[in-house]
Amino acid sequence: MTAGPLLHADADSFFASVVLRERPDLVERPMAVVAHVFIASANYPARARGVRGGTTVQDALRACPELVLVEVPTAAVEDAADALLALFRDVAVAVEPGSVEEAFLDVGAEDWNEAAIAARSVRRRARDELGLPVSVGVGRTKLMAKLASRRAKPDGLLVVGTELEHRLRTSLPVEDVWGIGAKTLERLRQLGVGHLGELAGVSDGDLRSTCGTAMFRRLRAIQHGTDDSRVRALGDRTSMSTETTTAGYQRPDRSPAELVEVCVQRLCHRLQGAGLVARVLTVTLHPEGPGPALTLRHARLDATADPDVWAEVTRDLLQGLELPDLSGARLTASDLSGTGAGVMQDTLF
């Protein structure tokens, strides 16, 4: 178990923040990062105008006609995610990533003051070394730490201490509890539960039969304050992946060969940056529209991160294939080993 308070660190508007490092002229202007025809991430001026991730470009421009749109800089995003995770590992004794831009951190803090000092250090280093704003929440459990980081946004720090935690365990709307989906929310409403404190009025039998055993246990743990407080460091890194699409926002479509070439160069760059080499490469090609993905695999006797070697491998894999119209490709390097200093020991995913 984590001995003291833990941290949840979450980069703010991650994709947009990566773009803004190279485009400071857009900091004060509404800007969004586009993945094909959807908004992947919007900066806070754009959010203030009603632009949200997951909406279409068309809807975003209706909400904010002066919105500046930038295609996802996938290579820069992946490099930034690697660097952010490396920073987390440098300051924590255990790191449990939730996605490429967020993680729970056990910094070995024994009290709230030590945890807050560590949180300020994470935020300062992310800003100074990576140019990324990171919000950090401090709490006794994962739920409380994640709630704190959400409330700290944008670019802030919040500590959920003992008194605030006690209030939240009765007053927090269940819709704000991380991990509770729409179906469970509807079932809880049918039981008359809108806030955590109202769980006390529901019998174990009714709660279990309505929400299922796993969610029943989690809700009761949250109610009683015994929910998860352990940061689980992941095991040795076994794979690294990258992917891209045929179509992009206002750029020419890529052919299957160009698609794979982009992925090879990017993946090898990340392997080299992490001090890793791979022996196995898997290429997954996704068709446009319905239909199964096509997966191709090649294993070598000697491990390498040389892009020329893996580019030749992919050309051989694709040679003679009648490929359908593709929407995208994903390359995964596996059977990894280290090449020296700077080796990353834990997986990103």
Catalytic positions, written as ranges: 102
Residue whose token pair is 């995208």: 328
Helix (H, G, I), strand (E, B) or coil at 116: helix
Q: Is there a contact between 32 and 46 (Cβ–Cβ < 8 Å)?
A: yes
Q: Is there a contact between 74 and 92 (Cβ–Cβ < 8 Å)?
A: no
DSSP assigned state of 308: H
**Strand ranges of the sheet holding 157-159, from the earlier edge strand across to the other edge:** 94-99, 102-106, 6-11, 134-139, 157-159
Count CB-CB contacts under 10 A for residue 317: 17
CB neighbours of 153 closer than 8 A, spacing ≥ 6? 10, 12, 135
Bridge partner residues of 96 (DSSP): 104
The span from the CA of 342 to the CA of 253, in Å, is 36
